[in-house]
Structure 1
């Protein structure tokens, strides 16, 4: 059992900080004091890597003062004091300073940890256009004639092609400086191909109108293209304003996502930090074979990097994760992003189904309507596809097929919905046929016993599918599937029947948690009238149930979530297992951070208050174990899925697409890791 389960450093996370110290022009002692103040704050927060601005110890905008021996001597003395102070500090400190070497002056980043200088990286690309005039003072890092430099009593590596490898917290990072990110091929691009997971940039970029957005675009796109984290720290208050101004922008990105950004134009020193998921970066690189192919194409350049390894043990105490973990990976909490996602998902479904009708030459659809979420949305999509093709909605042959467990509410809603949407509506009572089949196979129910076993359930499910496929033959139509991604992940579908098999399934890669928001989106979009919108909201407020077993004496109906677990948790587990391949302990750690406190983090819009609940670690562990058992044992169902469009970057379970796995896979390795690494509470 891991005693540090609750520590971010046990789960491939690394805390990174970007610092913007207040400076004074050419006042190295003052700048040193501000640097050390922020370093102490980072140490208290157990930050692993702290990035400071370009030339932060001297100030950037000091022009020819950069060539003054008195200042350069003082800067070197400040470096020595940072090294000395670092002996008792946890973080790696990356500070900027002008350094002399062999009759040249370099603009450098100095990497310091635990009383040692690990290496010095000079700036490669020196801007010498518009307001910039760096070649007047500095020499490019491409013009290095010595591979070592003596500084603060240390002889240390000097060059542009270093990868710093932390052993203990397991992180590889690369350093570049300001202009290096503005060129067509930044040095960090090759560093990422060589293995750097964190790319840091010490900058002193001055601010002009619109430049902050340009920096965001550069850093965010570099982190996405390089499949890496990118930490950027720019000079802020105190720099010379003779001809320029400074906003102190600092930001941290991870594979294109903005994790944290500083407030700009602050008057005092500031620090912004984020917990970077290095495990995500590694997983994305494993999946993206173009990344490895690009490294092969650039192998000569990549081979030039020298690895500087150093010991960096994780803190002995637990360090809580300081990062927003979305409770619903398929449903963003940001309302604008959720609307955009629903718009795209809905239209992908409609376009996919319309194309299938068009290419097959078939003009009729056959669909079973239960009054539940999945069939409701599939029916809406089918109607919209008919509209897109210019066909009458009467071409949609919709059937409700009540069985032994069908409730009055869902039965009524199925009829209300079919009538409101203007489809051809009909009903087939499957109970007589089900009784006959149960009698034919000698089931006890036919003899008067209340045996509600899996055979009793699947006789009904199978009959519904038999009717729908034969109706499709009769009407020369396509059976539209209704089963969703969550059911497929849990194996909560009967092999070969309606929630598993169809001619085309627009819902196949839509999670249960997302499908609810898609219905809300349609209800509010204007695609349906007010009467239909009311019906949709009534369906949304119905408990999720297969309705295959009659309600008990108290009227309590069969509950899906009591059997397979809360869809909120199981969708979470599905996403992180299939999309990112995380080990169960990390999934549980993320789930605990997302769900253990109902007040922590944002919720998606329009969620009913009753659904906003917390989950203890004990529940998370129990439902994750169930998920793993069901997920692996039901792969054979996913190996035989009908066609349907991929909806989300979260992936699908199509055997022809995102998830290709053996039907005989065992969950034992995953269950053992869960048992060994996740405490019971």
Structure 2
């Protein structure tokens, strides 16, 4: 059963961009604005400071703010005490310096009136006989509020408690800065009134080295973007520690995290500075700056704040943590401001992986393939033990999925210490089985040392077609779904009865991509088995798992050559004979679309719940150029290609229709191991959905907010 949907035609306008939300009665607009898809552009700024010269530092701050404005940045994070410089020692307590700092604040405010970014600037400020190390939030000339540093380091090279008062417990207060009285305290978050999901929490340097960073509470109060204004002198190995902390805090707080450390210009009397900047999102590094630079730095990336919000919605522990912490949203003050986002096309400034299920660095790819392969092997071995140790029965077509299931089973036997002849491999040729795949199947079974046999299903298929009164029983070229499924169903019938006969169980071969698309026949081997070892692995990852097995000598050289030959074989169900004139075999991807696109759609729908228009937007940026980066390590050069907007939307509509219409097949899935962090479609795991839902709302959203027809 398939969920076919109509496919619109797209004109040249669709190539230009993506339409954003409009109010009723407004004309549709053309732009590819990140703001339309829940993203915001952020920056970590590293100006060249001048020690104890606030006026010069204000100029440097304004210069980078203007650069950020021109680049379409929404939030800029500057270093700790950037207006005064950090390494001043007792000069912090000089009124001449502190007066100059307030003048510098006024300079930044006046200069930023016509600038778009929210500026987070560091400065020492006086209040009621105390001096605080603070971060000022400045938007379009207005100081929104001031956040004091909570944790003051006073060990090794640090002596901050000599000069500064801690902000611990300072809530609900105000401060007067450069003649402006504004909110003051550690209980402030800053929310854009006109850009959904842009809510900013601020902490300063040492704060995120604490066991519970202040930004954890800000996140639980609603902040999606966390900023750290830091000085942080550099010593060997410290840069890695900072990056680990930023990654961990963005993952733990389910947030984006921008870190900016002091750089060139700070006093090197006893310390040195590297100007490290990083931008993380949900634990992933989006961008990092050049360190030890002798020019001003502006590190820019686009963070997906809608993704942050969605991740929090699906992670119940986040809400439970907020409850355990006494509901921080009730203690924090939210300062709302009119951000006035530019909403112009500024491209997409983030690394967009074409294959989100497959890492694109060689080191991570090796690790993930090792883990994925062994998850499958371990799962199958445990199931074999639980069944009492009979036989594993697998139908071997010579194609990608059955080959992968077979090598997983072979390794499971090795791990269990049982002979590979425990595996009963059967090739079951039908009306359209090619000589190439049949030869591959036999060669693989022999090379792996499994017990192999062949059962020709054509006589039984003809008999069944005749019983049904199907024209193909008399030789007619009526290759409908009945013709196909008679063959697929017979193969499964044989495998289950063979398992009964030999006291074993059927190892399934269907993969995650086929289950997502419903490209599997209900009750048949790619949907039904005793243990679905491939059900958690998408098609694109299976290709890399086989490549990994070959390159890491999991099997001997001859077997490796056979596995490589399978990778070069066209993906086909081989249920319909080749075209009589051209000899072209039935092609799955010609029928339902490229698996590389479908896996991209699946990941972002399943893992993040993204709207179809946003999936299309990301896919376009990922796939529009065949020559840019984004390909996994070792991807064959001859297979690098691009997709235009019309093609992406065509296959996205196909995906959405098939995905929704095929839930009933997934609701009856057999057991199988979850493999990827991207998720699984098991009804007992990541995906629970009704079998009678429709794709109407998703297709309508794509029509409303996606590329213009």
**Superposition TM-score, scaled by structure 1 size:** 0.98
Q: How many residues align?
A: 681
Q: Contact conserved, 1:165 with 1:308, CA < 8 A, in 2?
A: yes
Deviation at 1:439, TM superposition (A): 0.3
Contact kept in structure 1, 2:199 and 2:223, CA below 8 Å: yes
**Contact 2:220–2:327, Cα closer than 8 Å, also in 1:** no
- SS, match of residue 312 in structure 1: coil
Asked if the contact 1:250–1:261 (Cα under 8 Å) also holds between the matched residues in 2, the reply is yes
Equivalent of residue 654 in structure 1, options 682, 691, 705: 682
* Alpha-carbon distance in structure 1 between the residues aligned to 2:357 and 2:259: 29
Partner of 1:592: 620
Query: Partner residue of 1:59?
Result: 85
Tell me how far apart the structure 1 counterparts of residues 522 and 172 of structure 2 sit (CA, whole Å). Answer: 69
After superposition, residues 67-466 of structure 1 pair within 5 angstroms as 67-142=93-168, 144=170, 147-170=173-196, 171-299=198-326, 301-466=328-493
Other structure's SS at 1:343 match: helix
- Of 485, 507, 516 in structure 2, the residue corresponding to residue 489 of structure 1 is 516
For the Cα contact (< 8 Å) 1:494–1:500, is it kept in 2? yes
In 2, the alpha carbon distance for the partners of 1:126 and 1:337 equals 37
**CA shift at 1:410, angstroms?**
0.5
Deviation at 1:302, TM superposition (A): 4.4
- Aligned residue number for residue 7 of structure 2: none
| Deviation digits for residues 15-54 of structure 1 (CA, Å, limit 9, x no counterpart) | 1101111111101121111111111110010100001011
- Select 1:21's aligned residue among 30, 47, 67: 47
Aligned equivalents of 2:557 and 2:171: distance in 1?
76
Contact 1:333–1:604, Cα closer than 8 Å, also in 2: yes
| Local SS of the residue matching 1:292 | helix
Residues 123 and 180, structure 1, Cα contact 8 Å, conserved in 2:
yes
Give, in angstroms, the shift of residue 280 of structure 1: 1.4
Residues 680, 420 of structure 1: alpha-carbon distance in 2 compared, 3 angstrom cutoff: farther
The 2-side partners of 1:283 and 1:678 are apart by 20
CA contact (8 A) 2:172 2:187 kept: no
Partner SS for 2:554:
coil
Tell me how far apart the structure 2 counterparts of residues 145 and 285 of structure 1 sit (CA, whole Å). Answer: 26
**Deviation sequence 1:235-277 (CA, Å, 0-9, x none):** 1111111111111111111111111111111112111111111
Unaligned runs of 5+ in 2: 1-18, 21-28
SS in 1 for 2:301: strand
> Contact 1:6/1:320 (CA < 8 Å) preserved in 2?
yes
8 Å Cα contact 1:56-1:95 kept in structure 2: yes
- 1:449 is displaced (CA, Å) by 1.4
- CA drift of 1:150 comes to 1.8
Name the CA distance, whole Å, in 2 between partners of 1:407 and 1:641: 29
Aligned partners of 2:262 and 2:275 also within 8 Å: yes
1:578 offset after TM fit, Å?
Answer: 1.0
Work out which of the residue numbers 589, 598, 602 in structure 2 matches 1:570: 598
**Deviation per CA, 1:478-527, whole angstroms, max 9, x where unpaired?**
11100000000000000000111101011001000010111111112222
Contact 2:227–2:259 at 8 Å: present in 1 too? Answer: yes
Q: CA deviation at 1:680?
A: 4.4
How many angstroms apart in 2 are the aligned matches of 1:165 and 1:145? 18
CA 1:144–1:640 in structure 2 vs 1: closer, same or farther (change >3 Å)?
A: closer
Distance 1:655 1:146 in 2: 48
Q: Look up the match of 2:536.
A: 509
TM-superposed deviation, 1:153: 2.8
How far has the Cα of 1:305 moved from its partner? 0.4
Moved more, 308-317 or 606-615: 606-615
Distance 1:385 1:145 in 2: 60
Gapped runs of 5+ residues in structure 1? none
Deviation by residue 1:177-226 (Cα, 9 ceiling, x = unmatched): 11111111111111111111111111111111221121112111111111
- Aligned partners of 2:495 and 2:506 also within 8 Å: yes
**Alignment partners' CA distance in 1, 2:329 and 2:453:** 66
Q: Which deviates more from structure 2 when the two are superposed, residues 187-196 or residues 206-215?
A: 206-215
Q: Residue deviations 1:93-136, cap 9 Å, x none?
A: 11111111122111111110111110011111111111111111
State how far apart, in whole Å, the 2-side matches of 1:300 and 1:280 are: 22
In 2, the alpha carbon distance for the partners of 1:281 and 1:4 equals: 26
* Gap change, CA 1:144 and 1:330, over 3 Å in 2: closer
Q: Secondary structure at the match of 2:113?
A: helix
Alpha-carbon deviation of 1:585?
0.4
Distance 2:133 2:407 in 1: 62
Alignment RMSD, CA only?
A: 1.2
Give the C-alpha shift of residue 380 in structure 1. 0.6
Alignment match of 1:618 (pick from 618, 627, 646): 646
Between the aligned partners of 2:690 and 2:83, the Cα distance in structure 1 is: 58
In structure 2, what is the Cα distance between the partners aligned to 1:350 and 1:232?
41
Larger RCO: Structure 1 or Structure 2 (Cα < 8 Å, ≥ 6 residues apart)?
2
The 3 A distance-change label for structure 1 pair 4 and 163 is farther
Structure 1: distance between partners of 2:375 and 2:529: 18
Contact 1:31 1:56 in 2 (8 A): yes
Q: Matches of 2:118 and 2:476 in 1, distance apart?
A: 72
Q: Do 1:485 and 1:508's aligned partners in 2 also have CA atoms closer than 8 Å?
A: yes
* Conserved? CA contact 1:485–1:507, under 8 Å: yes
After superposition, the Cα gap between the structure-2 partners of 1:413 and 1:136, relative to the gap in structure 1 and judged at 3 Å, is same
Deviation at 1:600, TM superposition (A): 2.2
Q: State the SS of the aligned residue for 1:507.
A: coil
Q: What's the CA shift string for 1:311-342, capped at 9, x where partnerless?
A: 11221422211111100011111111111111
Q: Does the CA contact (< 8 Å) of 1:621 and 1:680 recur in 2? A: no
Q: Secondary structure at the match of 2:193?
A: strand
